[in-house]
Amino acid sequence: MINPPEGQPVHELHYSIWQRLDIFIKRWFPFGVILVFILFLSAPWGLPGQKELLSACIYSSVFFWAVNNSSFLTPIMVFLLGLITDVLNFDQPGVIILSLLIIYAVGRAASRRLHQLGFVASWVLFTGIVAVVVAIEWAINSLITLRFLPIFLLVFQYVLTVGIFPLLSICYLWVNKRITGNISSTLG
């Protein structure tokens, strides 16, 4: 057993360890949840639209945390999540990383204004970012394969991503309230 410093009771040392663990879990929650999405939806389940659902979940998650609590999801974490996604899905290197960093940068840059305007403004901005990002991904992948990919995939990914954002935002708002102790989000 580790002896506490002179003059500090044992129960305070025990409490500080639990407090540190609590802070660690709260700080890494957004990264962990997105990583679970990536690992689960990268598995070869054979579900129709599985890759698009993965993109929808991680794009929505990154945008939410960039706008509402960017201290819990840093640019380095976003880069690592994109790298893991690219590697596990055998995607074109850097495409998802670029997409996530664009979403994160725009969300973080607009966060103060979005807090003033509310959820609808946040969702409208997200729909615009997703349109740009999905178009960029489609163009890069079409260029690399030297053929135009079906537009249906582009539209499906866009609609799915825009549609899933409010659902994930509600869940994340609940979690964010418990992590930070206040409602500091665009849904308020």
* Region of residue 144 (phi > 0: left; psi between -120 and 50: alpha; otherwise: beta): alpha
Residue entry with tokens 């930070």: 180
For residue 163, the one-letter residue type is G
Enumerate the domain spans of the chain.
Answer: 10-180
153 vs 173: CA distance, rounded Å: 30
104 vs 62: CA distance, rounded Å: 6
Structure confidence at residue 126 (pLDDT): 98
Q: Per-residue DSSP letters for 100-169?
A: HHHHHHHHHHHHHHHHHH-HHHHHHHHHHHHHHHHHHHHHHHHHHHTSPPPHHHHHHHHHHHHHHHHHHH
Q: Residues 60-73: pLDDT tens digits? A: 999 999 999 888 99
Q: Residues 101-148: pLDDT tens digits? A: 999 999 999 999 999 999 999 999 999 999 999 999 999 999 999 999
59 HSE (CA, 13 A, CB side): 34
129 vs 132: CA distance, rounded Å: 5
100 vs 64: CA distance, rounded Å: 12
